[in-house]
A and B are shown apart, each in its own frame.
Chain A
Amino acid sequence: SAVISQKPSRDICQRGTSLTIQCQVDSQVTMMFWYRQQPGQSLTLIATANQGSEATYESGFVIDKFPISRPNLTFSTLTVSNMSPEDSSIYLCSVAPTGTEQYFGPGTRLTVT
């Protein structure tokens, strides 16, 4: 498994602003993922962020709205840009250290007013 931390744990932001969420892992991992969990909903994959390559975005998510950085094998950031109330969600990062099962961070609860 892996120990994953996220910062911030929660935030309240005004519409039109941007928030950068950090994800830190206690070991080097190639595969890292970002998910969104809208209120009362299940998880939806935003993008896959592998070190050394551009992030791969899922249908419905674009780089201009959710830019991702992956500077090394233990760290990644997700930015939620030009926020609107519809972006209010929990954002989670996960890693797949063995390439199959995924382990999740505690999440970042974002509220946009």
Chain B
Amino acid sequence: AQSVTQPDIHITVSEGASLELRCNYSYGATPYLFWYVQSPGQGLQLLLKYFSGDTLVQGIKGFEAEFKRSQSSFNLRKPSVHWSDAAEYFCAVVPLFSGGYNKLIFGAGTRLAVHP
């Protein structure tokens, strides 16, 4: 079945440590790929996106993501986490041939906690 999977529901890291959030997708053709962040009580902010080309994508707030076709993955990384990065992170896809409009499909989300 077509799906977006974020295997980790909760992740806790120490401030200054590196971070990797996992995202896998299951679609016949590589979809458009996105990472969003939702801070407590806030809407969603687009961190980065991948459509084609260079498989390492740079985003805002020091985040990057790497597309790996062989693993159907689009993992989000940050070399050094700040306390303000504590939030919910959503991986999302727009499947190609999604009926003529951009149907954004979200993963379940990963809640990130940052210890001082």
Give A contacts to B, CB under 8 Å.
Answer: 1, 4, 31, 33, 41-45, 48, 50, 56, 92, 94, 96, 99-107
Contact = CB atoms under 8 A, between A and B. Distances in A.
Counting chain B CB atoms within 10 Å of each CB, which of A1, A4, A96, A102 scores highest?
A102
Contact of A42 (B34, B90, B94): B90
B104 A45 contact: yes
Nearest to B48: A101
Contact of A107 (B43, B51, B106): B43
Interface in B16-47: 32, 34, 36, 42-46
B43 A104 contact: yes
Nearest to B42: A106
A106 B40 CA distance: 11
A101 B48 CA distance: 10
A16 to B, nearest CB: 28
Contact of A99 (B45, B102, B103, B109): B102
A49 B74 CA distance: 29
A104 B44 contact: yes
A107 to B, nearest CB: 5
A56 B94 contact: no
A100 B32 contact: yes
B104 A33 contact: yes
Contacts of A1: 46
Nearest to B88: A42
B101 A101 contact: no
B90 A31 contact: no
B108 interface: yes
A103 B102 contact: no
Nearest to A93: B43
Given A42-B90, A48-B101, A56-B101, A103 B106 contact: no
